[in-house]
């Protein structure tokens, strides 16, 4: 009996709209979480896989000592692909010429990720090689051909063996991005290393083992490997590398995570508002059922069934739409990225279903419990039960639920707290603002029959309801502004780091005598070039007279001096400049003055690493010569600009007498490559490092991330729209009553329409203004704490917020009310009944 009644009531309420909005809100929460989780999971996997080309694998095991083959054998048991690399420097001899070059010996499986590009001759077409050189053959980078004056097919002597020059090496996926490393690249088969007899005890050699496969298999393998690893071995992936690509990936993941959090907040607000409104609409039916003998248990069963039906229907609908949306989105992204996205796991499904159920139960349970307490006498006294309308318990439960959902979804307590607290601040400010508006409006000289007067009167009449609406509108606008501005700032920051005319090559090892001719040649050929920087290699030997710890030999089992002051452990590339580089920011102290004497400017991370401060004295050792310099400034360096940067810059008086070479970055266009090759032929001692492929990889990643961010933003906008719909829907019945009364009193249709429009315009404008202020403050904090961006205020959104808020809320609100106003008075009375 009760089930039949419950279904009939459910059908009627679904048609009236309250349950429809609840269902839509829960569905949107589910589809938001599912779509965002699946899309971000698949895009994240794709970007990570593509970015793995930077290390030619998914993971790398690195050591300065030979790695055991046991690791590779064990990796095979975990279905992982493997490859081996050996790095060393040696002399090459050919045609009475000799050249120091960097050799990379690779196994046949190299590369596991990315592409190896070669040419059959210096003037040939670029092609992709399936694997590295075969036994007995070597590949040279273009600069080696010029230095040795050889061509493809010639013979070269490497150590104790001779090799045939088979290919021109154009691009390696894992070429080291270090502008001070040699550009004389040689690729050799790993099986040929032994016959070169180059590696002897004490030789400077670097070893790498590459691994690729499923993430779960890599995790399982690392769990086995970790206890076996020695102190001098390092396991890393692309995100562990301090590079622009790693920063881009981390920022993208943070943004997508943040967008998911905000989507959940918006959907949760819509559910809470709609559930509360639905329960309020049921006060009279519940009182009637109790009057006719309905028991509390029966009423509880009816409405719990309603909740279960809404929850089940909404979750299924949300999952279906969410899966369809992510398929549409990923298909579009696959075409845009020209890449197949990996399949998502089961976690997004679990998180989405859990979110839907938690939202449905936690935001509805308190209004439902209040509903069961409605007294039967409400049939005669309509005010009975109104004290249940505002429930501190319901507000508290909703707030805790939102916080827990955000925390569980993000697994980041810090960012959750920032967003949650900023939202609470917004709510407090809006309550104060609403009191000012609703209280101040009564003192205005309002004229009867005026649309503005009617709008303000309507706002005053629904003071409490409008305060809630104002908060909801502001919350939606705040989160939308937050995401849009953050997205623009992130992409602008990426683009400023890597503009369209970013350098794509470096010139290294230019002597002072060559500098004028090289500079003149570049100007003549219109090749864009940055400043030339003098460089000298030196070591920080002491701090304030205290010697730093010296290097020890692990090979000879030397022990570190644990009490000695921490140092760098290697030589640094030092330079001297009169003016600070444009890509550097002085964050403490002062740059060198005109009379600077023995001063140093230190990059901020190096300051921490050396554990020094302004005013400390560093002792440098260059060759056998030692000198002191006082730290007078600290710099923040933008390492992603692809321009020469330095950890330590000295005042010109310190290094002026030391012999130096110069470096610079250049931008080589396609039609300038022949001219650039002519420069390298004319000056064979100059090294050129091509970073074109590196630039392309970063731009590709940024493009993919931007697409993903745009899609996520669209979903969050839908969430914001639903919050506005739920709020307008909540006041629809009361507005219909007002329209009937006003028409009965002879009000014209134009007056009523304008008053409604102005009311929403005022609410939206006020909500937009406060939302803009609060979101800007929250942005300032999040940019610094979560995205490592230079936080800044955005005064333009203080104007955009009220404008967009007013127009958006007024348009949406008026659109929803317009259908009601088109009905005649008789039709409105029927709807109310």
Sign of the torsion angle spanned by Cα atoms 40, 46, 51, 56: positive
Residue 560's pLDDT band (boundaries 50, 70, 90)? very low
* Residue 161: Cβ-neighbour burial (10 angstroms; 0-12, 13-18, 19+): middle
Nearest-angstrom CA–CA distance, 736 and 828: 7
User: pLDDT, tens digit, for every residue of 565-598?
Assistant: 666 666 788 888 888 888 788 888 989 887 888 8
d(CA 477, CA 772): 8
- Please give the pLDDT value at position 730: 60
3-state secondary structure of 582: coil
Of the listed ranges 337-346, 499-508, 768-777, the least confidently predicted one is 337-346
Q: Output the DSSP codes for 379-406.
A: GT-TTTTGGGSS-HHHHHHHHHHHHHHH
User: In the structure, what pLDDT confidence band is assigned to residue 788 with cuts at 50, 70 and 90?
Assistant: low
Q: Half-sphere exposure of residue 502, counting CA atoms within 13 Å on the CB side? A: 24
The band of 559, judged by pLDDT with boundaries at 50, 70 and 90, is very low
What's the confidence (pLDDT) of residue 6?
72
pLDDT at 633: 92
Burial (CB < 10 A; 0-12, 13-18, 19+), residue 601, is buried
Of 210-219, 375-384, 736-745, 801-810, the one with minimum mean pLDDT is 375-384
Pick 115 or 713 by higher pLDDT.
115
pTM: 0.57
Q: What angle do CA 259, 260, 264 make, to 5 degrees?
A: 115
The pLDDT of residue 634: 92
- Give residue 254's pLDDT: 62
What is the percent of the chain with per-residue pLDDT over 90, rounded to a whole number? 4
Q: CB–CB of 209/83 below 8 Å?
A: yes
364 DSSP assignment: T
CB atoms within 10 A of CB 329: 23
pLDDT tens per residue across span 528-558: 888 888 888 888 888 888 887 654 333 334 3
- Tokens 């959090």 correspond to what residue? 261
Q: Are 652 and 489 in contact (CB under 8 A)?
A: no
Choose from 145-154, 363-372, 705-714 the range with maximum mean pLDDT: 145-154
Q: Smallest Cα–Cα separation from 212: which of 49, 54, 43, 82?
A: 82
Cα–Cα dist 458/466, whole Å = 9
* Contact present, 482 and 786 (Cβ < 8 Å): no
Average pLDDT over residues 722-749: 67
Distance of CA 735 to the CA centre of its chain: 44
Task: Quickly list H helices, 52-201.
Answer: 69-77, 142-148, 193-196
pLDDT one-digit tens code per residue, 617-672: 998 888 778 889 999 999 988 776 777 888 899 988 888 778 888 888 888 887 88
Total count of residues recorded for the chain: 833
Q: Please state, in angstroms and rounded to a whole number, the distance separating the CA atoms of residues 700 and 47.
A: 9
Sign of CA pseudo-dihedral 358, 360, 364, 368: negative
Distance in angstroms (rounded) separating the CA atoms of residues 794 and 482: 11
Angle at 102 between CA 92 and CA 676, to 5 degrees: 90
Helix segments in 509-548, DSSP class H? 515-524
Calpha distance 212→75 (Å, rounded): 10
435-490 confidence digits (pLDDT tens): 676 555 444 444 555 666 777 776 666 666 666 666 666 766 776 777 677 667 66
Beta strands in 216-311 (DSSP E): 233-236
């Amino acid at each position: 009996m009760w089930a039949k009644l419950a279904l009939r009531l459910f059908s009627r309420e679904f048609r009236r709209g309250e349950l429809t909005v609840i269902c839509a809100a829960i569905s949107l929460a589910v589809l938001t979480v599912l779509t965002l989780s699946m899309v971000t999971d698949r895009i994240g996997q794709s970007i990570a896989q593509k970015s793995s080309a930077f290390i030619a694998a998914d993971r790398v095991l690195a050591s300065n000592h030979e790695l055991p083959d046991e690791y590779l054998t064990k990796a095979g048991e975990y279905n992982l692909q493997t490859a081996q690399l050996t790095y060393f420097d040696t002399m090459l001899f050919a045609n009475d010429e000799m050249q120091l070059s960097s050799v990379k010996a690779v196994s046949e499986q190299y590369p596991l990720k990315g592409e190896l590009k070669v040419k059959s001759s210096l003037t040939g077409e670029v092609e992709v090689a399936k694997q590295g050189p075969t036994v007995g053959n070597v590949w040279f980078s273009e600069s080696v051909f010029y230095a040795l004056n050889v061509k493809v097919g010639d013979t070269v002597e490497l150590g104790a063996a001779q090799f045939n020059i088979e290919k021109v090496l154009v691009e390696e996926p894992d070429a080291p991005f270090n502008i001070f490393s040699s550009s004389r690249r040689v690729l050799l088969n790993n099986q040929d290393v032994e016959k070169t007899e180059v590696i002897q005890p004490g030789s400077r050699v670097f070893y790498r083992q590459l691994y690729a496969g499923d993430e779960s298999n890599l995790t399982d393998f690392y769990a086995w490997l970790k206890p076996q690893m020695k102190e001098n071995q390092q396991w890393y992936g692309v995100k562990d590398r301090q590079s622009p690509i790693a920063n881009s990936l981390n920022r993208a993941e943070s943004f997508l995570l943040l967008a998911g959090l905000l989507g959940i907040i918006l959907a949760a607000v819509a559910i809470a508002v709609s559930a509360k409104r639905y329960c309020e609409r049921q006060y009279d039916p519940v009182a009637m059922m109790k009057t006719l003998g309905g028991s509390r248990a029966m009423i509880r069963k009816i409405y719990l069934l309603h909740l279960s039906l809404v929850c089940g229907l909404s979750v299924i609908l949300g999952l279906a739409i969410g899966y369809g949306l992510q398929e549409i989105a990923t298909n579009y992204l696959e075409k845009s990225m020209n890449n197949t996205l990996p399949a998502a796991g089961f976690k997004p499904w679990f998180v989405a279903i859990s979110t839907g159920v938690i939202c449905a139960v936690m935001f509805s349970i308190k209004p439902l419990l209040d509903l069961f307490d409605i007294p039967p006498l409400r049939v005669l006294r309509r005010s009975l039960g109104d004290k249940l309308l505002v429930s501190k318990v319901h507000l508290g439960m909703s707030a805790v639920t939102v916080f827990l959902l955000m925390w569980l979804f993000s697994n980041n307590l810090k960012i959750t707290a920032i967003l949650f607290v900023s939202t609470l601040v917004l709510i407090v400010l809006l309550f104060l603002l609403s009191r000012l508006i609703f209280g101040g409006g009564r003192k205005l000289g309002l004229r009867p029959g005026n649309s503005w007067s009617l709008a303000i009167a309507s706002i005053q009449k629904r003071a409490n309801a409008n305060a809630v609406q104002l908060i909801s509108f502001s919350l939606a606008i705040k989160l939308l502004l937050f995401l849009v501005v953050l997205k623009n700032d992130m992409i602008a920051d990426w683009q400023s780091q890597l503009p369209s005319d970013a350098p794509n090559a470096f010139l290294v090892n230019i002597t002072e005598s060559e500098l004028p001719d090289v500079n003149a040649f570049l100007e003549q050929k219109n090749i864009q070039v940055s400043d030339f920087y003098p460089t000298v290699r030196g070591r920080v030997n002491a701090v304030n007279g205290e010697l730093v710890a010296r290097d020890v030999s692990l090979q000879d089992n030397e022990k570190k001096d644990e009490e000695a002051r921490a140092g760098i452990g290697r030589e640094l590339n030092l330079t001297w400049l009169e003016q600070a580089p444009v890509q550097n920011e002085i964050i403490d102290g002062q740059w060198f003055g005109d009379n600077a004497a023995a001063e140093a400017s230190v990059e901020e991370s190096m300051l921490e690493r050396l554990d020094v401060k302004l005013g400390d004295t560093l002792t440098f050792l260059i060759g056998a010569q030692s000198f002191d310099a006082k730290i007078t400034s600290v710099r923040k360096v933008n390492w992603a600009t692809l321009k020469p940067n330095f950890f330590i810059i000295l005042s010109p008086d310190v290094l002026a007498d030391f012999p130096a070479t110069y470096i610079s970055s250049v931008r080589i266009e396609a039609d300038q490559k022949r001219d650039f090759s002519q420069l390298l032929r004319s000056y064979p001692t100059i090294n050129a490092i091509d970073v074109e492929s590196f630039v392309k990889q970063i731009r590709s990643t940024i493009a993919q991330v931007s697409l993903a961010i745009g899609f996520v933003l669209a979903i969050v906008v839908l969430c914001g729209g639903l919050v506005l719909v739920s709020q307008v829907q909540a006041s629809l019945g009361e507005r219909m009553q007002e329209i009937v009364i006003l028409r009965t009193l002879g009000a014209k249709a134009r007056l009523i329409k304008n008053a409604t429009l102005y009311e929403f315009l005022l609410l939206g404008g006020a909500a937009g203004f406060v939302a803009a202020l609060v979101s800007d403050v929250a942005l300032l904090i999040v940019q610094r704490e979560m995205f490592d961006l230079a936080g800044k205020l955005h005064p333009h959104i203080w104007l955009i917020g009220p404008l967009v808020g007013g127009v958006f809320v007024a348009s949406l609100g008026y659109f929803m009310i317009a259908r009601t106003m088109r009905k005649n008075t008789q039709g409105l009375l029927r709807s109310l009944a």
